Amino acid sequence: MATTTAADKATREEYLQIHRWMCIAKALDDRMHILVKQGRAPFVGSSRGHEGIQVASTAAIGADDWLVPHYRGLANAIVRGLTMKEWMLAVFAKAGDPLSAGRNIPGGCYSYHRLQIAPVSQVVASWIPKAAGIAYAAKLRNERSVVLCTFGDGATSQGEFHEGVNFAAVHRLPVVFVCENNSYAISVPIRLQMANPNVAERAAGYGIPGVTIDGTDVPVCYEATREAVARARSGEGPTLIDAKIWRINSHTSEDNQAKYRTTEELEEAALHDPIVRFVDWLIGRRWITAEEAAEVQAAYDAEASEAADWAEQQPDPLPEDALKNLFG
């Protein structure tokens, strides 16, 4: 008879925790869409479809490591410890918003010193050389920290992608570069963005490993990132991971993807929901039942709603603080 080892139990608990984080991200995402429709919140940049690679990659780094995410990285920030209430303070641009004190659009900034999340910028790809810089500093200081840097496929067309990855490769810096390849940069499809759709193949030009993975397959994402983190930590340098995913929602709530994606393509995208796929995987291992998975999601949905109602009642920033901590 098969016995359950302590290692099995640990793995099971890791994957159930990954599932909970994905459900939190979905709950917040869905709630933000409702808030926008109700006219209570201004904007959503959805992570739907990205949760698998975002949660798995961030779960692969430790508390002393750095996250340098792109603006779509809500699920990454959740794994680092951002709470639902904190996120909703940012959504409503409240004074207590720990990310930008109400200055940035939701998702425009995940800067959080306590959680070692470096400030991102709306300027696409500008954070990639910054990630290399943080890793360079860690190396110079003989620290063992690793930097997880995430970006979209569109970002790889920017010069900063080349500058950041090349610098990290030359100096064998401890960075894991993860391209969340949803094959769109707003309305621009990947075929108009790059002649070779496999971003990982560019790694050879930098002399580093490149790995292409199915970014909707959570265990694959987790293992690939853990391997890259181990390489980085042992001084072997950066890895470039190309995680192929499907963007389920429009680029943001300001966009209407029905204008440039066919009905068939949108129906196909909905079939590649990483949460559905991961729940099936967990059920297959008998680590969760369909009913339990639905209960987890429903509990977080309710909590996201409560967090929104609570945050909406919190104080607004003071007008006289508007220019505080800004470069002028």
Ligand X SMILES: Cc1ncc(C[n+]2csc(CCOP(=O)(O)OP(=O)(O)O)c2C)c(N)n1
Query: Which residue ranges make up the site for ligand X (CB under 6 A)?
Result: 72, 122-124, 151-155, 180, 182, 184-186, 251
3-state secondary structure of 107: coil
CB of 263 to ligand X, least distance (A): 20
Q: Which is nearer to ligand X, 186 or 204 (CB)?
A: 186
Give, for 102, the enclosing helix (H) or strand (E): none
CA distance 114 to 42: 27
Residue whose CB is nearest to ligand X in the complex, by number: 152
Minimum CB–partner distance for residue 157 and ligand X (Å): 8
- Nearer CB in complex with ligand X: 152/274: 152
CB of 50 to ligand X, least distance (A): 7
Supply the DSSP symbol for 176: E
CB 257 within 8 A of CB 248: no
Closer to ligand X at the Cβ: 156 or 297? 156
- Closest distance between ligand X and the C-beta of residue 149, in Å? 13
Is 64:114 a contact under the CB 8 Å cutoff?
no
Nearer to ligand X, 23 or 155 (CB): 155
Question: Measured between alpha carbons, how far is 118 from 217 in angstroms, rounded to an integer?
Answer: 27
Handedness of CA 132, 190, 77, 310 (dihedral sign): positive
Distances (CA, A) of 210 to 51, 238, 241: 21, 9, 6
Ordered DSSP codes for 36-87: HHTTSS------TTTHHHHHHHHHTS-TTSEEE--TT-HHHHHHHT--HHHH
Strand ordering across the sheet containing 175-181: 66-68, 147-152, 175-181, 239-244, 210-214
Interatomic CA distance for residues 126 and 159, integer angstroms: 9
Cβ nearer to ligand X, comparing 52 with 154 = 154
Cα–Cα distance, 252 to 87 (Å, whole number): 17
- 41 or 124: CB nearest ligand X: 124
Token pair of 207 as six digits: 């002399």
Pick the closer one to ligand X by CB: 97 or 153.
153
Q: How far is the CB of 247 from ligand X (least distance, A)?
A: 6
Minimum distance from residue 172 beta carbon to ligand X (Å): 26
Q: Min. distance of Cβ 279 from ligand X in angstroms?
A: 24
Residue (98 or 108) nearer to ligand X, CB: 108
Retrieve residue 48's tokens.
Answer: 């739907």
Q: Tell the smallest beta-carbon distance from residue 304 to ligand X (Å).
A: 22
CA angle 55, 223, 53 (to 5 degrees): 25
